[in-house]
Structure 1
């Protein structure tokens, strides 16, 4: 993998992708609950899980998802999208966005 990309992939040289593709006209909540149970079981076993497309609600979850790439992603966001108009639907960043480690602005709250 290119070190310049911001995609979150496991640190290992070899990893496996597992996809659960389900369809439900009714009772979709049952599938959602099962998916959450699977993700929880993987996390408990420390399997190095990366969820795509995640719907995290807290910055802590996004930081965990991106791991060591978080600071680079944050710096790029501050540099290339300082007003936060791009990719707002993913809700990765909250604005106003500032970071104490970034040369672009000061103190993420």
Structure 2
């Protein structure tokens, strides 16, 4: 496995259908209550992709209460993000799903 410069900003879980809790959170978010609005929620990803100070192997997310709102800041990496085994599996699945493969270095 070769090193890569992967910049990520707090991926979230997707579902086919929203739960009651998710709908409640979306309603609060739309009003900027407790959670950020869409415009502020995209800032960690934008920071990771465009900031000269952003670096590979780092995670960016909101810096406010429980990381639910606030300006982007570097976050502590979750242990699973550091697993090379998980990285290999995700890479393999990504290649299978997209039909795009990359030669081994």
Same fold by TM-score, threshold 0.5 exceeded? no
TM-score, normalised to structure 1, is 0.24
TM-score for both structures, normalised by structure 2: 0.25
Per residue, is there more strand in 1 or in 2?
2
